[in-house]
Chains A and B, each alone.
Chain A
Amino acid sequence: MTVDFLIDLFSKFIDVPVVAFLLAVTIAGIPLFVLMALNATVAVYVERKVSAFMMDRIGPMGQGPGLHAGKWGVLQTIADALKLLIKEDTVPASADKLLFKMAPFIIFIGAFLGIAALPFSSVIQVVDFNVGVFYIIAVASVGVIGIVMAGWASNNKWSLYGAMRSAAQIISYEIPAGLSIIVPIMMAGTMNLQSLIEFQTGSVWGILPNWIIFNNPFSFLAFFIFFISAVAETNRTPFDIPEAESELVAGWMTEYSGFRWAVFFLSEYANMFVVSGLAATAFLGGWQSPIPGLFNSPLWGLFWFLGKIIFLIFVMMWFRWTFPRLRVDQLMHVCWKVFIPIAMLNIFGVGIWKLIIG
Chain B
Amino acid sequence: MVLNIGPQHPSTHGVLRLEVMTDGEIVSKITPHLGYLHRCFEKHAENVTYEQVIPFTDRCDYLASMNSNFGYVVAMEDLMEIEVSERVQYIRVIMAELNRIASHLLALGVYGLDIGAFTPFLYMLRDRERILDMFEYTCGARLLYNYMWIGGVSHDLPKDFEKICFEFLDYFEPQIEEYNNLLTYNKIFIERTADVGVIPADIAISYGVSGPNLRGSGVNWDVRKDEPYSIYDRFEFDIPTGTGEFGTLGDCFDRYWVRMLEISQSAKIIRQALKDLPGGDVFETMPKKIRPPKGSIYRRTESPRGDLGYYIMSDGTPSPSRVKMRSPAFTALSCLDEVSSGWMISDVLAILGSLDIVLGEIDR
By the criterion CB–CB under 8 Å, are B126 and A326 in contact?
Answer: no
A137 interface hit (Cβ, 8 Å): no
Chain A residues near B191 (CB-CB < 8 A): 326-327, 330
B262 interface hit (Cβ, 8 Å): no
Minimum Cβ distance to chain A for residue B71 (Å) = 31
- Interface segment out of the listed B95-103, B116-124, B217-225, B242-250: B116-124
Number of interface residues of B (CB under 8 A): 29
B11 interface hit (Cβ, 8 Å): yes
A261 interface hit (Cβ, 8 Å): no
By the criterion CB–CB under 8 Å, are A324 and B188 in contact?
Answer: yes
CA distance A229 to B346 in the complex (A): 22
CA distance A323 to B344 in the complex (A): 21
CA distance A161 to B3 in the complex (A): 11
CA distance A238 to B9 in the complex (A): 21
By the criterion CB–CB under 8 Å, are B10 and A324 in contact?
Answer: no
Q: Which residue of B lies closest to A157 (CB)?
A: B3
- Interface segment out of the listed B51-59, B107-115, B137-145, B303-311: B107-115
By the criterion CB–CB under 8 Å, are A328 and B116 in contact?
Answer: no
By the criterion CB–CB under 8 Å, are B10 and A56 in contact?
Answer: no
A253 interface hit (Cβ, 8 Å): no
Q: Which residue of A lies closest to B2 (CB)?
A: A157
Q: A246-B114, A249-B9 are in contact. Are A324 and B189 (CB under 8 A)?
A: yes
By the criterion CB–CB under 8 Å, are B115 and A321 in contact?
Answer: no
By the criterion CB–CB under 8 Å, are A240 and B117 in contact?
Answer: no
By the criterion CB–CB under 8 Å, are B192 and A324 in contact?
Answer: yes
Within 8 A of A (CB), among B1-40: 1, 3, 9-11, 25
By the criterion CB–CB under 8 Å, are B188 and A323 in contact?
Answer: yes
Chain A residues near B118 (CB-CB < 8 A): 51, 55, 320-321
Q: Which residue of B lies closest to A158 (CB)?
A: B3
B349 interface hit (Cβ, 8 Å): yes
CA distance A324 to B114 in the complex (A): 9
Minimum Cβ distance to chain A for residue B239 (Å) = 28
By the criterion CB–CB under 8 Å, are B122 and A247 in contact?
Answer: no
B251 interface hit (Cβ, 8 Å): no
Q: Which residue of B lies closest to A160 (CB)?
A: B1
Given contacts A246-B11, A327-B191, 5 further A-B contacts (CB under 8 A): A56-B122, A324-B116, A324-B192, A327-B192, A329-B344
16 pairs of residues in contact across A and B, judged by CB atoms under 8 Å: A54-B119, A55-B123, A157-B1, A237-B116, A240-B116, A241-B346, A245-B10, A246-B116, A247-B346, A322-B117, A324-B189, A324-B192, A326-B192, A327-B344, A327-B346, A327-B347
